[in-house]
Amino acid sequence: MKIKQVSAWPVEMRLTEPYTIAYETISSTTNVFMRIETDKGIMGYGCAAPDLEVTGETPEAVLQSWKDVVEPLLLNSDPLRIARINEKLSERLQNFPSCRAMVDMALYDILGKAASLPLYVLLGGYRDHIRTSITIGILPLDETLRRAQKLVKQGFKALKIKGGKNLEEDIEKFIKVREVVGRSVELRFDANQGYNLDQAKQFVKATRTAKLELLEQPTPRDQLDMLGKVSDQVPIPVMADESLMTVRDVFRMARRDLVDMINIKLMKVGGIFQALHINSIAKAAGYEVMVGCMDESGLGIAAGLHFALGRPNVMYADLDGHLDLIGDPAGGAVILKDGVLYPSQEPGLGIDL
């Protein structure tokens, strides 16, 4: 099989409601979509969700990288040689993880379609569905409580609360959310790098009665020692997110036992191929894994979901980045029912654009 044509195009999608996290407010996102066509008539699809703050990319940079590197590299190559193509892309696009994820996703889509199997089955097929959390951005207290109640009524059993801008408000908000949603709903907190060591400890201590399930990336991404101290000094699991971009990052954290869990986002790490390597290191270290997402199309969510379903230690999902997008070309790529995500049972990622 040979690749005979590739194309890429940007799609800007507004959010139904803007949301705020510790370091920015988001009202829209631009994803770059990609199609690979083979000489056997199989089409593979991928998307990039670049974020300058997280992945270090812009949509314009992704498109330029596609034109300069991706298209010449892929034409006339064998799409089933995923490891070979990924290694070549890593050499030339080291600092473009969402661009690499876009290509990787399309290659795995072709693999599944060539095998006439859903991708999660090829990746191990450990489970066929997974519960996802849904995120509540930084909002005033009353609005946060209304949003939490609404989401629980919609069937979600896990909520992620964003904070990191004001410790006292975060504590009050988290305790109040627990009061309105009851004890059966899982509550997670993401400080998005907004705390120092003392603040993280204060938050965990003050919310102890509210049954916090996990604390995600409380401290700045490049201060691993501080992150390790938080993990050592609080009684709940601490998860690394922004601190994890590469295989080397998870190796350094695992070697020093700096965290309890990691959040793998395909757009940060460069796609499924790299995510599998990172997950293997996490498994060896005894880490549980969450698969997360950016503000990304249902196509990217599908790729993250298939990865999560294939591996037993990917215990958590935070795959809600598609739910508020207007005009998503891949809006039906995954099935959501009562807070649980199911994949399409069609071959590959299960969608054609």
Active site residues: 162, 190, 216, 241, 265
- Strands 186-190, 158-162: pairing is parallel
Q: What is the DSSP string of 276-311?
A: HHHHHHHHHHT-EEEEE--S--HHHHHHHHHHHHH-
Helix 298-310 to helix 272-285 angle (10° resolution) is: 40
How far apart, in whole angstroms, are the C-alpha atoms of residue 108 and residue 80?
8
Let me know: does 55 contact 267? Beta carbons within 8 Å. yes
Residue whose C-alpha is closest to residue 197's, from 153, 258, 150, 277: 258
- The number of helix segments (H) and strand segments (E) in the chain equals 13, 14
Sorted by sequence, the CB contacts under 8 Å of residue 149 that are 6+ apart come out as 180, 181
